[in-house]
Amino acid sequence: MNTNSTPFPADRELVLTRILNAPREKLFRCWTEPALITQWFTPPPYTTTHAETDVRAGGSSVITMRSPEGQEFPNRGIYLEVVPNERLVFTDAYTSAWEPSEKPFMTGILTFEDVGDGRTRYTARVRHWTTADCEQHAKMGFHEGWGVATNQLEALAQRL
């Protein structure tokens, strides 16, 4: 599945690209190992309280975020494509064992490209089912929130 070259409507996609000062192997670990996910995934004042991953095409994941008020938000999904240290594609359209979710919202496509000197071009591409979903995600603070989380991801990868 080569989802990067597939034409996709720009009004349903949000993209964050950065050069991170960490090798892609460590960044990939931070995205796939539960003990690491809980350390960086959620921008403050939210926290990540739980993570489970079965990192393989068709494997499920659940990452639970907690609001400052204590409300928990479990995010369930399925991995669609896994290329270690290069690419991770996941969606919330399914929860586990290919069971459709109540309300699909997005598909995430992460790429980790080695640019030399221990640095990585990290691209987080988020495709939404509808233009309204994309607009909602943007208004929720996609670029700011994913930007803060990416800073935390980079900092953690540098400490590994």
- The pLDDT value recorded for residue 1 is 44
- The pLDDT value recorded for residue 3 is 47
Q: What are phi and psi of 27, to 5 degrees?
A: -65, -40
Tens of pLDDT, residue by residue over 136-149, are: 999 988 999 999 99
Q: Which residues of the chain have pLDDT under 70?
A: 1-6
CATH topology of domain 15-159: Alpha-D-Glucose-1,6-Bisphosphate; Chain A, domain 4 (3.30.530)
* Domain residue ranges of the chain, discontinuous segments joined by +: 15-159
Separation between Cα atoms, residue 82 and residue 100, nearest integer Å: 20
- The pLDDT value recorded for residue 6 is 59
Tens of pLDDT, residue by residue over 14-34, are: 999 999 999 999 999 999 999
Of 84, 110, 131, 137, the residue nearest 18 (C-alpha): 110
Q: Within 10 Å of residue 26's Cβ, how many Cβ atoms?
A: 21
Separation between Cα atoms, residue 58 and residue 79, nearest integer Å: 5
